[in-house]
Structure 1
Amino acid sequence: MKVDVLAIGAHPDDVELGCGGTIAKLISEGKKVAIIDLTQGELGTRGTHETRALEAKNAAEILGISARENLNMKDGFIVNSEDYQLRIIKAVRKYRPEIVFCNAIDDRHPDHAKAAKLASDACFLSGLIKIETEVNGEKQENWRPKQVFHYIQWKNIKPDFVIDITGFLEKKIEACLAYATQFYDPNSTEPMTPIATKDFLESLTYRAQDLGRLSGVDYAEGFTAEKLIALKNFDGIIC
């Protein structure tokens, strides 16, 4: 299955939080998007890996993505190893995306920055012919995405560009709230965490609104780029 965009997250819910609005918008435009979760989020304070798996499935259905899978890496112990690189390489060669979204380059959770570098390195290595991989006995062809972009998470990293998600913020928040065990619920008896507060839930709106204010739209999501972006023309730029 070839997709236009492959979104990679260290934990189930990373993608929804970081770029859920952008994904919803792309899908509305007819683009195919797949999500790869590196871990099951099994070290999360709230919920279990079983509930996270069900929540991830529900979030995927809300966004309308083409596919979602989990690479079963160890939550909290993501390393840039050959084994983990090859798992991502196989996924990149399977889905053959033009663009990859992955974790923030620096963030509060150490897995995020580690996953960002791991995914970036794997995307490059996936283009090397001499790295041979196979799935179910069938040899895969090499494939390198044209661009790797990093979404923004907990920290307020200055974006290299933003995507206008006006009209899609509600869909993003709906997908995030599919992770019912993880986010604000005044009736929950589980321990409080930084992302389970009311303020964090409200931040999904006011941070998108602030990036929109700076860029002249209602709501936006920010990304950092690994290389200089060239524009063919000025169509689509919001002045």
Structure 2
Amino acid sequence: MKVDFLAIGAHPDDVELGCGGTLAKLISEGKKVAIVDLTRGELGTRGTDETRAEEAKNASEILGISYRENLGMNDGFLNNSQEYQMQIVKMIRKYQPEILFANAILDRHPDHAKAAKLVSDACFLAGLKKIETELDGNSQEVWRPKQIFHYIQWKDITPDFVYDISAFMDKKIEACLAYKTQFYDPKSTEPVTPIATKDFLESLTYRAQDLGRLSGVEFAEGFTTEKLLAFKNFDGIVC
């Protein structure tokens, strides 16, 4: 079940909002991608954990995700505990990603920053050979991703780099809108939340457009990195 990229989000829809365009582009290039959602999003004002699960399934089909699973951690109460760390260690060793995408390091929802640290610590632990894990009765190999990149969510964080998603902006929006209960719908009778406004929906486009403007492309998604990036060559850099 090895994949090239693993994207982890505190809630179903975090990944699509933060790096959906990036994943769509990588998949179009033949890369294998898996998503792991930490919680079911059961505390969300709109929808239910059942509708979120169905929406996540639909979004995954839109993007072409190879594997997706939900760890069922407690929404709103994520913590950097050994129990939660070990669950993520097992996922990292199961999928053996080269690159891992995780939540924003600072954000409006407290679960996001907590998930960022939780995943980062789990990545380190997953590479320690004296930590032994089993999955489905089989011993797991030690594995540590080469890089952890944190996508940007609500807060306006300055990225360390951006990724050109110009040809995949529509696919990102389509995947986000698969979460019909969560985002702007003028016909909905559910309570209005900060992410269920027309302005928030439009911000997905204009924020990506602004990052593109600054970097010389049409649309881009931004990331922060925990480790200094090294280039082997300058191929692919937009001038």
Q: What interval of TM-score do these two structures reach, taking the shorter chain for normalisation? A: over 0.9
Show the counterpart of 1:238.
Answer: 238
Show the counterpart of 2:41.
Answer: 41
After superposition, the CA RMSD in angstroms is 0.3
Question: Alignment partner of 1:196: what SS?
Answer: coil
Runs of at least 4 residues off by over 4 Å: none
Return the alpha-carbon distance in structure 1 between the equivalents of residues 34 and 196 of structure 2. 26
Instruction: Give a deviation string over 1:32-87, Cα, whole Å, max 9, x none.
Output: 00000000000000000000000000000000010000000000000000000000
Question: Alignment partner of 2:199: what SS?
Answer: helix
CA deviation after TM superposition for structure 1 residue 229, in Å: 0.1
Identity %: 80
Where in structure 1 are there 5+ consecutive unaligned residues? none
CA deviation after TM superposition for structure 1 residue 231, in Å: 0.2
Show the counterpart of 1:109.
Answer: 109
CA deviation after TM superposition for structure 1 residue 137, in Å: 1.2
Question: Alignment partner of 2:182: what SS?
Answer: coil
Q: Which amino acid aligns with 1:186?
A: P
Q: Is 2:141 aligned against 1:141?
A: yes
Show the counterpart of 1:185.
Answer: 185
Question: Alignment partner of 1:168: what SS?
Answer: helix
Q: Which amino acid aligns with 1:203?
A: S
Instruction: Give a deviation string over 1:149-181, Cα, whole Å, max 9, x none.
Output: 000000010000000000100000000000000
CA deviation after TM superposition for structure 1 residue 136, in Å: 1.5
Q: Which amino acid aligns with 1:161?
A: F
Q: How many residues align?
A: 239
1:15-30 → structure 2 map (5 Å cutoff): 15-30=15-30
Q: Which amino acid aligns with 1:181?
A: T
Return the alpha-carbon distance in structure 1 between the equivalents of residues 178 and 238 of structure 2. 32
Show the counterpart of 2:221.
Answer: 221
CA deviation after TM superposition for structure 1 residue 103, in Å: 0.1
Question: Alignment partner of 1:78: what SS?
Answer: coil
Question: Alignment partner of 1:35: what SS?
Answer: strand
Q: Which amino acid aligns with 1:94?
A: K
Return the alpha-carbon distance in structure 1 between the equivalents of residues 9 and 15 of structure 2. 5
Return the alpha-carbon distance in structure 2 between the equivalents of residues 141 and 2 of structure 1. 12
Return the alpha-carbon distance in structure 1 between the equivalents of residues 233 and 214 of structure 2. 22
Return the alpha-carbon distance in structure 2 between the equivalents of residues 164 and 219 of structure 1. 6
Instruction: Give a deviation string over 1:88-122, Cα, whole Å, max 9, x none.
Output: 00000000000000000000000000000000000
Show the counterpart of 2:212.
Answer: 212
Scaled by the length of structure 1, the TM-score of the pair is 1.00
Show the counterpart of 1:56.
Answer: 56
Q: Which amino acid aligns with 2:37?
A: D
Show the counterpart of 1:82.
Answer: 82
Return the alpha-carbon distance in structure 1 between the equivalents of residues 73 and 219 of structure 2. 33
Return the alpha-carbon distance in structure 2 between the equivalents of residues 136 and 2 of structure 1. 16
Where in structure 2 are there 5+ consecutive unaligned residues? none
Q: Which amino acid aligns with 2:19?
A: C
Q: Which amino acid aligns with 1:185?
A: D
Question: Alignment partner of 1:69: what SS?
Answer: strand
Q: Which amino acid aligns with 1:140?
A: Q
Return the alpha-carbon distance in structure 2 between the equivalents of residues 136 and 172 of structure 1. 34
Show the counterpart of 2:125.
Answer: 125
Return the alpha-carbon distance in structure 1 between the equivalents of residues 43 and 117 of structure 2. 21
Return the alpha-carbon distance in structure 1 between the equivalents of residues 14 and 137 of structure 2. 32
Return the alpha-carbon distance in structure 1 between the equivalents of residues 41 and 137 of structure 2. 30
Return the alpha-carbon distance in structure 2 between the equivalents of residues 46 and 94 of structure 1. 32
